[in-house]
Chains A and B, each alone.
Chain A
Amino acid sequence: MAALGTAALICALLTALYACGSAVVGVRTGRPALVVSARRAMLCIAGLCALSVVILESAYLRSDFSIALVAQNSSHSTPLFYKLTAMWSSQPGSLLLWAFLLSVYSSIALYATRQKLREIVPWATAVLAFITAFFLTLMVFFASPFHTLANVPVDGNGLSPLLRNPAMLIHPPMLYTGYVGFSIPFAFAVGSLITRRTGAEWIRATRRYALLAWMFLGCGILLGALWSYSELGWGGYWAWDPVENASLMPWLFGTAFLHSAMVQERRGMLRTWNVSLVMGSFILALVGTFLVRSGILNSIHAFGASTLGVPFVGFIALCTLGSVALVVSRRESLRSPHRLDSLISREAIFLLNNLVLVGMCFVIFWGTFFPLISEALTGTKASVGPPWFNRYTVPLALVLVLLTAIGPMLAWRRTTPARLVRVLRWPLGVALAATALLVVATPAAQSIPSLIMFGGVALVLAAVGREFARGARARRAGTGEAWPVATLRLVATNRRRYGGYLVHVGISLLFLGIAASSAFVSQRDVRLRPGQTARVGNSTVTYRRADVHLFNDPSGTGAALSFGAVLDVRRGGRHIVLRPAHNLYAANAPGEGTFGRFFDGESTSEVGLRWGLTANTWTAIQPDLSILAKPVALADAKFAGAPPRFQAAILNAMAQMYLVRAPAATFRVIVFPFVTWIWLGGLMLLLGALIAFRRPPRKRREPARAPSRRPSRERELAEVPA
């Protein structure tokens, strides 16, 4: 099967090269048959990549350790759920996922535009085929997923324990679907520049792909944060880690593009800006993919060093230089025929929001690559931490949330100052009242940036609420529908607008969760014996008893040993029980003792967590296993050759010994207020994006018209529904 997989990848590479050449020759010589053939070739690549994915996944499921990748990232004892996800934990598997997703995306996009943009599409096809060919080249020549081993091991190394988390099943595919999705608008932007057709046509054709990529990337980032929060055991969801930052940067660019694209669609403005944003999003997506695999920057997420540094950096440089050269050479075609009518208009707010988003991205880029920059300039690798990032991103986020509120209240083209005051009056009143209430009734005033953020969030919610209410009222006035029906139909007929507003609500809730959980967190590291109690914030935590599981990990990760605790947490008359654990995974290296290997392998923290709308209680344990050091050494010396059942009995005796003696353990206890709202906001964001993604309902079919009979254009225009 490995041979078939290898053949499929080679065939896909040859097909991609053909598609690239065929599309260019087709458009150059005016032979559409060649362009159609290139489109079909992309479909074939999708099929060949799908075949490769199926072959590799089936090798994981069958524990076929003759394939090196399977031996490196799976084992007989790896739970089935994690065997399926092991593919993207490796570099070649990730590349295969990239190529597969790209070929599927490309096939769909090219099929959907088969009767549109005939000048641009062939170039877009060539660009997409070229990108696919690059990833296939990496797999065929540098990092084959189907590399086989001469000596097949009896068992594999198993999946990294850190990746054994349900969020990891969908986090990488989501992230990659987001990264890959930006290839489509990038390819069409390149096509529009080459053909000098820089109007809004390419944006209309690819806007939904950009939205889809943005949505998937956003979900991937939030799932990554969830994984960090519930798996890594350090007690947070965002650490400004290089790989986290690398995923955030294209998302910020994508957010900017989705706003400025509307300005180009409606006003024909910001053409240079839009192609630059799309190109920036794609190049940053490539950088993100490279960072997660390369290990050039220290990251908790970089799973292994890469052998692909030179080709990847070369490709990123080629895309960057090519994009810049193309934009500069087409600057005349990119000149907009229109100018901004007023600074009090929706497009002006969009422009400001773009500047803030790009500014934020620049700050993150600088902070992320500062270690490399400092090393190049001074020879010393210096890095910046979360306080540095927060110093610059927090003020920008505050401006952003205010723009999020004001944008929807303004009209396109111009709004007079008097109208601005009128539309702002009510939401501003609500925001000020909410802020005053927070100052009086809560400790929110202890953190001024958080207080401003809470006020901004109240302004967004009030502004969006007002938009929905007024929209439904206007609809009711014309139709007499009931409020819920009028609201639903209002959304259904204006999906982009109201879906976008829901995204604004989601973002503001997300900001609320970040501000509250960062500024008002209560955290303590305590060392407790069973029966002892500690106070953290307004919660009391009691270590009730120790808990040990042998070959029966409650979290289902396949850990050999799990040393945990049962904690009683009381807050405000409520009682909850939490069970944090410290999982140990047997080492597979030769030279480890028969029993020692169970304690010297990798370990993970299984967090004891209770979700709540007002606060989450988060606990992690670091057990003191020193009492088992002597028994383990003794068992290694005396019972190394004992039969497996006897070995299991000895391990069980050690576990019982830990339970009975129950030494003091170190606990990290954190009470995060309103942190759940980060992910609830994410769900709202997803809902809004899905609504905006769906096409509006089609107008009723126009009656067939004879060529000689001209329709009443006024009548047709009068049918445009508001």
Chain B
Amino acid sequence: MTVVLALLALSALVALVVSGPLTRGAALQAEAEADDRRAELEAAKEAKYRELADAQLDYKLGKVSVADHQATERELQAQAVQILRELDDLR
């Protein structure tokens, strides 16, 4: 009996917490559509910047030739520009 009463009390608390978002479904839908792509592109941008920084560091440390570095950097920059363009289009 004690278990049942405790279970009911805890379940009521849980129901209160999980049902909150259900009452504002439409607002969440709009938020989701706006933020999703932007967040992904921002993450991709940060990752591409890190890649560029890594490539520059490798070059400074003498691990790659000038020609190889320039080719890599060109490719990475083109990819980064593409991401920035897509971000701009969302703004």
Contact residues of A with B, CB < 8 Å?
3-4, 6-8, 10-11, 14-15, 18, 22, 30-34, 36-38, 40-41, 43-44, 48, 115-118, 200-201, 204-205, 265-266, 409-416, 419, 422-423, 467, 470-471, 474, 493-494, 496-497, 696, 699, 705, 707, 710-711, 713, 716-717, 720-722
Q: Using Cβ atoms and an 8 Å threshold, which residues of chain A touch B80?
A: 713, 717
Interface residue from B3, B40, B88 paired with A3 (Cβ < 8 Å):
B3
Complex Cα spacing A422 to B64, Å: 11
Interface residue from B31, B39, B84 paired with A713 (Cβ < 8 Å):
B84
Closest 10 CB pairs of A and B: A7-B6, A33-B25, A722-B56, A36-B21, A411-B63, A3-B2, A7-B7, A474-B60, A411-B58, A11-B10
In chain B between 20 and 75, which residues have their CB closer than 8 angstroms to a CB of chain A?
Answer: 20-22, 24-25, 28-29, 31-32, 35-36, 39-40, 43-44, 47, 49-58, 60-65, 68, 72
CB-based contact A720/B56 at 8 Å: yes
Q: Using Cβ atoms and an 8 Å threshold, which residues of chain A touch B53?
A: 493-494, 720-722
Complex Cα spacing A283 to B62, Å: 42
Of A30, A32, A416, most B-chain CB atoms within 10 Å: A32
Q: Does more than half of chain B's interface fall in helix, strand or loop, or is it mixed?
A: helix
CB-based contact B63/A48 at 8 Å: no
Q: How far is the CB of B76 from chain A (nearest CB, A)?
A: 9
CB-based contact B22/A14 at 8 Å: no
Complex Cα spacing A48 to B10, Å: 8
A44 touching B49 in the complex, CB below 8 Å, given contacts A37-B19, A116-B40 = no
CB-based contact B61/A470 at 8 Å: yes
17 contacts between A and B (CB under 8 A): A7-B9, A15-B18, A31-B29, A32-B32, A33-B21, A37-B18, A40-B18, A41-B17, A409-B63, A411-B64, A414-B68, A415-B64, A470-B62, A494-B54, A497-B54, A707-B91, A722-B57
CB-based contact B77/A717 at 8 Å: yes
Q: Using Cβ atoms and an 8 Å threshold, which residues of chain A touch B9?
A: 7
Q: Using Cβ atoms and an 8 Å threshold, which residues of chain A touch B54?
A: 266, 412, 494, 497
Q: Using Cβ atoms and an 8 Å threshold, which residues of chain A touch B44?
A: 201
Q: Using Cβ atoms and an 8 Å threshold, which residues of chain B touch A48?
A: 10, 14
Contact residues of B with A, CB < 8 Å?
2-4, 6-7, 9-11, 13-14, 17-22, 24-25, 28-29, 31-32, 35-36, 39-40, 43-44, 47, 49-58, 60-65, 68, 72, 77, 80-81, 84-85, 88, 91
> Which chain B residue lies CB-closest to A695?
B46
Complex Cα spacing A37 to B29, Å: 13
CB-based contact A118/B10 at 8 Å: no
A471 touching B61 in the complex, CB below 8 Å, given contacts A115-B36, A116-B39 = yes
Complex Cα spacing A265 to B32, Å: 25
> Which chain A residue lies CB-closest to B8?
A7
Q: Using Cβ atoms and an 8 Å threshold, which residues of chain A touch B29?
A: 30-33
CB-based contact B39/A8 at 8 Å: no
Q: Using Cβ atoms and an 8 Å threshold, which residues of chain B touch A717?
A: 49, 52, 77, 80-81
> Which chain B residue lies CB-closest to A146?
B3
CB-based contact B61/A14 at 8 Å: no
A118 touching B32 in the complex, CB below 8 Å, given contacts A7-B7, A10-B7, A410-B63 = yes
Q: Using Cβ atoms and an 8 Å threshold, which residues of chain A touch B91?
A: 705, 707
Of A4, A7, A711, most B-chain CB atoms within 10 Å: A7
Q: How far is the CB of A681 from chain B (nearest CB, A)?
A: 25
Q: Apart from A7-B9, A8-B10, A415-B63, what 11 extra A-B contacts exist at CB < 8 Å?
A: A3-B2, A7-B7, A14-B11, A33-B29, A40-B18, A116-B43, A201-B44, A411-B68, A412-B72, A413-B68, A717-B49
Complex Cα spacing A720 to B52, Å: 7
Of A34, A201, A413, A471, most B-chain CB atoms within 10 Å: A413
Q: Using Cβ atoms and an 8 Å threshold, which residues of chain A touch B77?
A: 717
CB-based contact B28/A33 at 8 Å: yes
Q: Does more than half of chain A's interface fall in helix, strand or loop, or is it mixed?
A: helix
Q: Using Cβ atoms and an 8 Å threshold, which residues of chain B touch A3?
A: 2-3, 6
> Which chain B residue lies CB-closest to A6?
B3
Q: How far is the CB of B21 from chain A (nearest CB, A)?
A: 4
Complex Cα spacing A383 to B62, Å: 51
CB-based contact B21/A40 at 8 Å: yes
Complex Cα spacing A494 to B58, Å: 12
Interface residue from A36, A41, A423, A707 paired with B63 (Cβ < 8 Å):
A423
Q: How far is the CB of B23 from chain A (nearest CB, A)?
A: 8
CB-based contact B47/A204 at 8 Å: yes
Q: How far is the CB of B2 from chain A (nearest CB, A)?
A: 4
Complex Cα spacing A497 to B60, Å: 15
> Which chain A residue lies CB-closest to B4?
A7
CB-based contact A7/B25 at 8 Å: no
> Which chain A residue lies CB-closest to B77?
A717
Of B7, B10, B80, most A-chain CB atoms within 10 Å: B10
CB-based contact B25/A713 at 8 Å: no
Q: Using Cβ atoms and an 8 Å threshold, which residues of chain A touch B63?
A: 409-411, 415, 419, 423
Q: How far is the CB of B46 from chain A (nearest CB, A)?
A: 9
Q: How far is the CB of B65 from chain A (nearest CB, A)?
A: 6
> Which chain A residue lies CB-closest to B12?
A11
Q: Using Cβ atoms and an 8 Å threshold, which residues of chain B touch A414?
A: 64, 68
Complex Cα spacing A22 to B15, Å: 13
CB-based contact A720/B39 at 8 Å: no
Interface residue from B28, B65, B85 paired with A36 (Cβ < 8 Å):
B28
A497 touching B57 in the complex, CB below 8 Å, given contacts A266-B51, A717-B52 = yes
Q: How far is the CB of B62 from chain A (nearest CB, A)?
A: 7
Complex Cα spacing A409 to B61, Å: 9
Q: Using Cβ atoms and an 8 Å threshold, which residues of chain B touch A411?
A: 55, 58, 63-64, 68
> Which chain B residue lies CB-closest to A205?
B43
> Which chain B residue lies CB-closest to A121?
B36
Q: Using Cβ atoms and an 8 Å threshold, which residues of chain B touch A44?
A: 13-14, 17-18
Q: How far is the CB of A13 from chain B (nearest CB, A)?
A: 11
Complex Cα spacing A497 to B57, Å: 10
Q: Using Cβ atoms and an 8 Å threshold, which residues of chain A touch B11?
A: 11, 14
Q: How far is the CB of A242 from chain B (nearest CB, A)?
A: 38
Complex Cα spacing A483 to B68, Å: 29
> Which chain B residue lies CB-closest to A18?
B18
CB-based contact A32/B14 at 8 Å: no
CB-based contact A201/B22 at 8 Å: no
Q: Using Cβ atoms and an 8 Å threshold, which residues of chain B touch A34?
A: 21-22
Q: Using Cβ atoms and an 8 Å threshold, which residues of chain A touch B22?
A: 33-34, 37
Q: Using Cβ atoms and an 8 Å threshold, which residues of chain B touch A36?
A: 21, 28
Q: Using Cβ atoms and an 8 Å threshold, which residues of chain B touch A10?
A: 3, 7
Q: Using Cβ atoms and an 8 Å threshold, which residues of chain B touch A115?
A: 35-36, 39
Q: Using Cβ atoms and an 8 Å threshold, which residues of chain B touch A710?
A: 88
Q: How far is the CB of A341 from chain B (nearest CB, A)?
A: 10
Q: Using Cβ atoms and an 8 Å threshold, which residues of chain B touch A116?
A: 36, 39-40, 43
Q: Using Cβ atoms and an 8 Å threshold, which residues of chain B touch A493?
A: 53
A32 touching B6 in the complex, CB below 8 Å, given contacts A265-B47, A412-B54, A414-B68 = no
Q: How far is the CB of B87 from chain A (nearest CB, A)?
A: 10
Q: How far is the CB of A137 from chain B (nearest CB, A)?
A: 16
